[in-house]
Structures are given as structure tokens and as C-alpha cells.
Amino acid sequence: MLNLFNNPTVMALKKDLDTGTLRQRVIANNLANLNTPGYKKSFVSFEEKLKPLLDENRLPLKITHPQHLGGVKHLAEVQPEVVKVTNTSLRPDGNNVDADEEMVNLAAAQVKYNTSAQALSEYYSLVSHVITASRR
């Protein structure tokens, strides 16, 4: 049976939207703490975890039992992770937030979010069109 709403592309786009929201919150938090002594910036890691699941050039192993080693996780199990950058310091007070870098990251995150939202919207519009056309 064809699953229109939980195929890998739709699930990846939904995950990307959730990650984009988290990413914007993390960047906003970094900017809010720009002048906080000792604050260490954070970033969201997600694409590195998602890529192996969507890689078409490898033969994935399926995990059929929770105790199996290796294999590919299910796409729904992949979660974004907030990572704190503790090994750098830009100022004598220990803060490592660069406002210019954060603003660039915010702009890039917004473009990525908008692209994923548009792709998901177009997919659902296509599904709606197919359903409506099939009634005729």
C-alpha cells in the first residue's frame, strides 16, 4: 500500500522543519547571551545523522530487533542534537558568540526552513490535486 504521508521524503521534510525551528531558537539564545560572560554558543547537529539514512548509494541493513548491532535506524528515530561549543573563546571573559556569524547562521536557517516548508506544501498540494482529480 502506498503511504502518502509517511514516505521518507515527507518524513525528512517534517524533521527538517522541526530542526529548523530548534535551530532558530538556539541561534536566538546565542544572540541573547552575546554579552554574558563565560557563555558558550551552541549549534544544532542534524544533517550529519540524516544523510546516512537517505544515501541511495549504499545497501542498508535492516534492524529487526532492538538488540541488533549496526544497520540503519528508522528515519523517525533520528533527532536533532544541540551541541555546545566549549573549546573556543572570542573574548577575555570566555564568551565565544560572534554576532555576525550568528546572523549569517540565522539567515541560512531561515532560507533552509522556507525551502523545506515550500517543498512540503507543494507535495501536499499535489496529493490534494490527485485526490480531487480521482473523484471526477
For the chain, state the CA radius of gyration: 19
Q: Which long-range contacts (CB under 8 A, 24 or more apart) does 89-93 make?
A: 93/37, 93/38
Contact indicator for 93, 35 with CB cutoff of 8 Å: no
Sign of the CA dihedral with 70 first, then 75, 79, and 83 last: positive
Residues 6+ apart with CB under 8 A from 22: 44, 80, 82
Higher pLDDT, 105 or 1: 105
Q: What is the pLDDT of residue 128?
A: 87
This prediction's pTM:
0.77
Does the pLDDT at position 35 exceed 80? yes
Domain residue ranges of the chain, discontinuous segments joined by +: 8-134
Q: Which of 113, 109, 28, 45 is nearest to 80 (CA)?
A: 45
Per-residue pLDDT tens digits for 64-78? 666 655 554 567 778
Average pLDDT, the chain: 84
Residue 4 has pLDDT above 80, yes or no: no
pLDDT per residue as tens digits for the range 45-67: 988 887 776 665 555 555 666 66
pLDDT greater at residue 29 or residue 89? 29
Residue entry with cell 536557517: 109
Rounded distance between C-alpha atoms, residue 42 and residue 131, angstroms: 44
Angle at 111 between CA 108 and CA 115, to 5 degrees: 140
- Do 12 and 87 contact (CB within 8 A), yes or no? no
Q: Please, which pLDDT band fits residue 127 given cuts at 50, 70 and 90?
A: confident
- Which of 28-42, 68-82, 86-100 is least confident? 68-82
